[in-house]
């Protein structure tokens, strides 16, 4: 076949999304998946973070464990060293697989229930003794609680569970504080009563003494003796009234249920006397907050008065005026932090509903609210018209906007990654101000071959939904507040893995392979129109892996065709061509990723520019060598004499000064190369962009790369690049 026609077919599909002739094949129904995900075909057989166990009565990050971690703990405790232990370990892992498969099929329950059920099933298959051994081993489980697979409902259950542990701790602290204050205020009243005439009447003295010895005393006589000089009431009326009123408020507050009833507090307020704090929309939470403000102010005032009274520090002349004026407008963040936080778990399909339109306003107003926003689908197609994408833009915009509000804790993570970021979830829920948790929860769609765990897990390395946290109160600068959580290879555009395959000559090959946004998009069958299978005879040198294609300038990329490596159901390797619409989304995804990198201090453009300037200044100001130069040898002198003068417009390297640090080679190994002395020179100026020249100049440790002037006047971003290049020309 004519190679030109072959390439044209590829290019036409890439540019138009239309398959010309019959050479390129549609991918529908071929069960293709990114080649790097081939080992994950049987997910239930692999040990990974899910299922999770929501452990009861534990605090913080310890309230959630992985099934694998708990099984490992049991096996460490009960499996002896040697062959017997090995057999038990094997059966333990078999049981773990059984539970994982049951949960994937929809089983629910506590870990101990699912453990026993799995042991019974294995016993049926392999003998009663095995069941008994596994049940016995189950007794060594270090924790129990609800078992949770990775489903679209998981983020809400996990966040709610962690929130409950935080609120329980808050309630414990509140009751400890209030219990002590009530005791102290009651003691003041009791002491005043016992010193008063009423307290020294015979009946009062008899009641105060109590116990079995009452018959030994003549309380009438005692009353006459001790009651002679007693005052009517040693407490001034205003103080008595204040103490009684304060005690009344503390004992009737509706924010925290009594300790013995706390289980009913957190489920939406089934007890009419206790407020519920869990909502499924912002409007309802904001309304409840507003309606409760007067009571909140009354409770905070009572706490403050009680604290002053308990240490004898209440001065009427000073404090009366202040507390009379104390109302809901006086409440500060520290006051609200003593009360329960509001939890809003917005169902994925209601994110854009009118009742949640006030989300940003609610976060910016500093309400003590923790909001979970779940994204079921990162595919916002049609926002820009047919064939265009806006993958993940809404969720990215939401998190970025929330970070810009100031004072808001923000966490973004795919659902599959939630166990890894459990400490940050706890931190956000325990933070003093508002918090936003933006989670890509995935969806269960008919005919979707991907379980939510895999589809959300793939969003992390592909940069489609990176994990990060922003703790507004965590420090005074971005370095302290912002963190790219466990995004793989955060310094790279795309994480590079090793792809192992058998080539056409039946040889095992290991090759680097990047996992890109295009690979992530290939996982969703709804995107099949944006891909076409290129049979081996169609492959040519103009095809480039998507990551390499994205590294080119737009002009250079226009002549190449991007593809991703994919495998079919029998693990045969294919090249799948990607159309321009989807690659445009990949570029946008990369742009958003670069912004996050900068927030995390990776490839910070300001810092890099400053560094380049400093390097250049340092090189220019470097003192001449202390020792006198040896007289040039004839050949060297000749070479120096012949060394051409370089104009500012020419790109060149001071090769003789190159200490071979490799930086420029990493940027573009086709443009930069080493000579026979392993010193760098520009091998092919046409093999890269002006941007790469400038980046190499900035990276060069001895500032010996001179980028000259751009060859292509249409290269994007030239104005900025020329400014950066100025110090090196």
Q: Which residues bind ligand SF4 (CB under 6 A)?
A: 653, 658-664, 680, 699-702, 704-705
Please report which helix (H) or strand (E) contains residue 360, including its range.
helix 359-364
- Helix (H, G, I), strand (E, B), or coil: what is residue 181? helix
Give the contacts of 706 (CB within 8 A, at least 6 positions apart). 646, 648, 650, 651, 652, 653, 654, 697, 728, 729
Return d(Cα 685, Cα 586) in angstroms, integer: 27
Record the tokens describing residue 597, joined without a space. Answer: 């990198």
Are 485 and 424 in contact by the 8 Å Cβ rule? The answer is yes
CB of 608 or CB of 663, closer to ligand SF4:
663
CB of 353 or CB of 661, closer to ligand SF4:
661
- State in angstroms the smallest separation of the CB of 712 from ligand SF4: 22
Give the contacts of 381 (CB within 8 A, at least 6 positions apart). 388, 389, 390
CB of 425 or CB of 551, closer to ligand SF4:
551
Are 117 and 102 in contact by the 8 Å Cβ rule? The answer is yes
CB of 707 or CB of 710, closer to ligand SF4:
707
CB of 597 or CB of 699, closer to ligand SF4:
699
- State in angstroms the smallest separation of the CB of 407 from ligand SF4: 43
CA contacts within 13 A on the Cβ side of 36: 23
- State in angstroms the smallest separation of the CB of 557 from ligand SF4: 25
CB of 559 or CB of 666, closer to ligand SF4:
666
CB of 222 or CB of 619, closer to ligand SF4:
619
Q: Tell me how crowded residue 683 is: count the other CB atoms within 10 A of its CB.
A: 14
Are 340 and 167 in contact by the 8 Å Cβ rule? The answer is yes
- State in angstroms the smallest separation of the CB of 3 from ligand SF4: 35
CB of 647 or CB of 701, closer to ligand SF4:
701
Record the tokens describing residue 604, joined without a space. Answer: 């910070």
CB of 311 or CB of 677, closer to ligand SF4:
677
Give the contacts of 114 (CB within 8 A, at least 6 positions apart). 99, 102, 103, 107, 147
- State in angstroms the smallest separation of the CB of 655 from ligand SF4: 8
Return d(Cα 51, Cα 118) in angstroms, integer: 14
Return d(Cα 477, Cα 475) in angstroms, integer: 6
- State in angstroms the smallest separation of the CB of 700 from ligand SF4: 3
CB of 500 or CB of 662, closer to ligand SF4:
662
Residues β-bridged to residue 499: 511
Name the DSSP letter for residue 337.
H
- State in angstroms the smallest separation of the CB of 596 from ligand SF4: 27
Q: Tell me how crowded residue 319 is: count the other CB atoms within 10 A of its CB.
A: 17
With tokens 């090995």, the residue in question is 86
Ordered alpha helix ranges (H), 139-281:
154-195, 202-209, 219-226, 237-252, 262-265
CB of 664 or CB of 694, closer to ligand SF4:
664
- State in angstroms the smallest separation of the CB of 729 from ligand SF4: 16
- State in angstroms the smallest separation of the CB of 660 from ligand SF4: 5
CB of 286 or CB of 671, closer to ligand SF4:
671
Return d(Cα 89, Cα 85) in angstroms, integer: 6
- State in angstroms the smallest separation of the CB of 680 from ligand SF4: 4
Residue 289 φ/ψ, nearest 5 degrees: -60, -45
CB of 411 or CB of 704, closer to ligand SF4:
704
Burial 110-136 (b: 16+ CB within 10 A, else e): ebbebbbebbebbbeeeeeebbebbee
- State in angstroms the smallest separation of the CB of 692 from ligand SF4: 12
- Helix (H, G, I), strand (E, B), or coil: what is residue 307? helix
Are 535 and 25 in contact by the 8 Å Cβ rule? The answer is yes
- State in angstroms the smallest separation of the CB of 661 from ligand SF4: 3
Q: What is the chain's percent helix, strand, coil content, to nearest 5? A: 50, 15, 35
Return d(Cα 143, Cα 141) in angstroms, integer: 6
Are 111 and 64 in contact by the 8 Å Cβ rule? The answer is no
Task: List C-alpha distances in Å: 14 to 528, 533, 537.
Answer: 13, 12, 17
Give the contacts of 52 (CB within 8 A, at least 6 positions apart). 64, 65, 66, 67, 147, 148, 154, 158, 418, 419
End-to-end CA distance of the chain: 48
CB of 197 or CB of 679, closer to ligand SF4:
679
| Closest listed residue to residue 439, CA positions, set 377, 374, 393 | 374
- State in angstroms the smallest separation of the CB of 657 from ligand SF4: 8
CB of 233 or CB of 663, closer to ligand SF4:
663
- State in angstroms the smallest separation of the CB of 663 from ligand SF4: 4
- State in angstroms the smallest separation of the CB of 728 from ligand SF4: 11
| Closest listed residue to residue 34, CA positions, set 538, 592, 517 | 517
Return d(Cα 231, Cα 196) in angstroms, integer: 5
CB of 214 or CB of 701, closer to ligand SF4:
701
- State in angstroms the smallest separation of the CB of 705 from ligand SF4: 5
CB of 137 or CB of 612, closer to ligand SF4:
612
With tokens 């940050």, the residue in question is 424
Return d(Cα 468, Cα 411) in angstroms, integer: 6
- State in angstroms the smallest separation of the CB of 667 from ligand SF4: 8
């Amino acid at each position: 076949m004519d190679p030109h026609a072959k390439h044209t077919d590829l290019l036409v599909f890439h540019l138009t999304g239309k398959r010309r002739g019959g050479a390129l094949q549609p991918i529908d129904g071929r069960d293709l998946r990114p080649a790097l995900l081939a080992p994950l075909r049987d997910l239930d057989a692999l040990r990974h973070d899910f299922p999770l166990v929501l452990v009861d009565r534990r605090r913080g990050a310890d309230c959630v464990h992985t099934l694998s971690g708990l099984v490992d703990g049991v096996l460490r405790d009960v499996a002896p060293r040697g062959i017997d232990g090995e057999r038990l370990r094997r059966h333990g892992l078999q049981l773990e697989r059984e539970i994982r498969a049951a949960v994937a099929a929809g089983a629910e329950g506590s870990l101990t229930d699912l453990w026993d059920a799995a042991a019974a099933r294995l016993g049926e298959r392999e003998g009663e003794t095995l069941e008994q051994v596994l049940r016995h081993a189950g007794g060594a489980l270090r924790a129990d609680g609800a078992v949770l697979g990775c489903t679209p409902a998981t983020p809400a259950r996990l966040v709610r569970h962690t929130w409950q542990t935080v609120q329980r701790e808050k309630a414990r602290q509140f009751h400890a504080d209030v219990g002590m204050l009530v005791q102290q205020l009651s003691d003041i009243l009791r002491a005043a009563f016992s010193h008063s005439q009423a307290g020294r009447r015979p009946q009062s003295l008899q009641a105060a003494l109590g116990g079995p010895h009452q018959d030994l005393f003549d309380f009438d006589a005692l009353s006459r003796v001790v009651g002679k000089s007693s005052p009517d009431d040693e407490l001034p009326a205003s103080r008595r009234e204040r103490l009684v009123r304060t005690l009344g408020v503390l004992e009737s507050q509706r924010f925290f249920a009594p300790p013995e009833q706390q289980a009913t507090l957190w489920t939406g307020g089934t007890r009419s006397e206790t407020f519920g704090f869990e909502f499924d929309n912002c409007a309802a939470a904001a309304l409840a907050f507003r309606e409760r403000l007067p009571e909140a102010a009354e409770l905070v005032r009572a706490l403050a008065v009680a604290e002053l009274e308990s240490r004898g520090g209440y001065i009427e002349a000073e404090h009366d005026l202040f507390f009379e004026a104390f109302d809901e407008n006086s409440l500060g963040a520290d006051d609200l932090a003593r009360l329960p936080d509001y939890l809003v778990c917005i169902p994925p399909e209601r994110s854009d509903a009118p009742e949640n339109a006030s989300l940003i306003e609610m976060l910016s107003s500093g309400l003590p609210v923790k909001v979970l926003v779940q994204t079921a689908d990162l595919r916002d197609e049609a926002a820009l018209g047919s064939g265009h994408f806006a993958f993940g833009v809404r969720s990215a915009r939401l998190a970025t906007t929330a970070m810009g509000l100031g004072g808001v804790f923000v966490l973004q993570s795919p659902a599959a990654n939630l166990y890894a970021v459990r400490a940050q979830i706890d931190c956000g829920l325990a933070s003093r101000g508002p918090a936003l948790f933006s989670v890509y929860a995935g969806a269960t769609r008919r005919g979707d071959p991907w379980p939510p765990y895999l589809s959300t897990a793939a969003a992390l390395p592909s940069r489609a939904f990176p994990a990060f946290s922003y703790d507004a109160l965590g420090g005074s600068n971005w370095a302290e507040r912002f963190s790219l959580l466990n995004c793989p290879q955060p310094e790279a555009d795309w994480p590079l893995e090793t792809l192992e395959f058998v080539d056409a000559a039946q040889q095992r090959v290991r090759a680097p392979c990047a996992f890109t946004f295009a690979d992530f998009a290939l996982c969703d069958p709804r995107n099949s129109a944006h891909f076409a299978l290129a049979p081996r005879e169609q492959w040519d040198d103009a095809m480039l892996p998507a990551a390499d294609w994205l590294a080119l300038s737009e002009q250079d990329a226009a002549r190449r065709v991007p593809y991703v490596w994919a495998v079919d159901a029998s693990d045969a390797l294919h090249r799948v061509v990607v159309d321009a619409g989807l690659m445009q989304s990949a570029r946008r995804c990369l742009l958003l990723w670069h912004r996050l990198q900068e927030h995390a201090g990776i490839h910070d453009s300001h810092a890099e520019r400053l560094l380049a300037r400093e390097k250049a200044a340092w090189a220019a100001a470097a003192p001449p060598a202390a020792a006198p130069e040896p007289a040039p040898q004839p050949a060297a002198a000749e070479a120096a004499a012949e060394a051409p003068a370089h104009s500012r417009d020419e790109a060149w390297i001071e090769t003789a000064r190159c200490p071979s640090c490799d930086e420029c080679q990493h940027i573009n190994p086709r443009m930069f190369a080493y000579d026979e002395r392993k010193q760098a020179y520009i091998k092919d100026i046409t093999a890269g962009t002006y941007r790469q020249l400038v980046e190499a100049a900035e990276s060069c440790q001895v500032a010996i790369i001179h980028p000259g002037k751009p060859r292509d006047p249409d290269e994007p971003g030239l104005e900025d690049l020329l400014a950066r290049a100025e110090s090196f020309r």
